[in-house]
Amino acid sequence: MTTEVAESSLPLELNAFAAVEAAYPAEISRITDSLRNGLSVLVEADKELTPYLYRCVRDRLKKEGKNFLYLDGRPISDMPPLPPGISLVGAIIFLLREAVRGAVADRLLVLPHLDLLTTSVGGLTSEAREAIPLLYENPELVFLGFKDPSFPVPRVIENLFPRSESILGTPRDRLGQLVTQREARKLSPGKIFKPYSLYKHVSGVNAVRLRRMLSTLQGEDYPADAKPAFQQLRANTLVGQLQVPDVDLKQDIGGYAKVKERLQKEILDVLNLKDGMADESQVKRVEGLIPRGMIFWGPPGTGKTLFAKAMATSLGAAVSIVSGPELKSKWVGESEENLRRVFVQARQAAPAIIIFDELDSFAVRRGMHIGSGVEHSMVNQLLTEMDGFRKDELVFVVGTTNFVESLDPALLRPGRFEFHLHIPFPGPADRRAILEIYDQKMTLGFSPRALDYTVKRTGDLVEGTNTRYTGDHLQALCRALARMRLRENRSDATTVDDVEKTLNEFVERPALTAKEEGVVATHEAGHAVAALFCPHSPPIDRISIRGDLAGSLGFVAYSDPAHRYVVTQGQLLDQICTLFGGREAEVLCFNDLSIGSSSDLDRATAIARALVEEFGMGGEAVGVRRLERRDPEDLEPSEALKGLAEAEVRRILEEQRARAGRILRDNRTLVESLRDMLVEKKVLDREALGSFLPAGLNKNPAPTEG
Q: Which residues contact 703 (CB under 8 A, 6 or more apart)?
A: 559, 560, 561, 562, 564
Give residue 553's pLDDT. Answer: 81
Q: How far apart are CA 511 and CA 346, in angstroms?
A: 55
Is residue 398 helix, strand or coil? strand
Compare 626 and 615 and report the one with higher pLDDT. Answer: 615
Tens-digit pLDDT profile for residues 534-552: 998 888 888 888 776 555 7
| pTM of this structure | 0.74
- What positions carry a catalytic annotation? 524
Give residue 702's pLDDT. Answer: 39
What's the one-letter identity of residue 57? V
Residue-by-residue DSSP string for 16-55:
HHHHHHHH-HHHHHHHHHHHHTT--EEEEE-GGGHHHHHH
Is residue 112 helix, strand or coil? coil
518: Cα separation from own chain's centroid: 48
Kindly tell me if the per-residue pLDDT of 561 is higher than 80: no
Give residue 705's pLDDT. Answer: 36
Among 78, 132, 72, 119, which Cα is nearest to 102's?
Answer: 78
Give backbone dihedrals phi and psi of 685, rounded to 5 degrees, phi first: -95, 180
Q: Are 46 and 85 in contact (CB under 8 A)?
A: no
Is residue 387 helix, strand or coil? helix
Q: Which residues contact 516 (CB under 8 A, 6 or more apart)?
A: 553
Tens-digit pLDDT profile for residues 4-16: 788 888 889 999 9
Q: How far apart are CA 706 and CA 703, in angstroms?
A: 9
Tens-digit pLDDT profile for residues 650-675: 999 999 999 999 999 999 999 999 99
Q: How far is CA 11 from CA 52, 176, 179, 182, 433, in A?
A: 20, 10, 7, 9, 53
Among 537, 471, 462, 468, which Cα is nearest to 502's?
Answer: 462
- Looking at the DSSP assignment, which residues form a beta bridge with residue 446? 494
Q: How far apart are CA 252 and CA 140, in angstroms?
A: 64
The torsion defined by the Cα of 225, 227, 232 and 235, in degrees rounded to 10, comes to: -170
Tens-digit pLDDT profile for residues 211-221: 999 988 888 88
Q: How far is CA 311 from CA 131, 268, 319, in A?
A: 48, 7, 10
Tens-digit pLDDT profile for residues 488-514: 999 999 998 899 888 877 766 777 888
Q: How far apart are CA 620 and CA 617, in angstroms?
A: 9
Give residue 704's pLDDT. Answer: 33
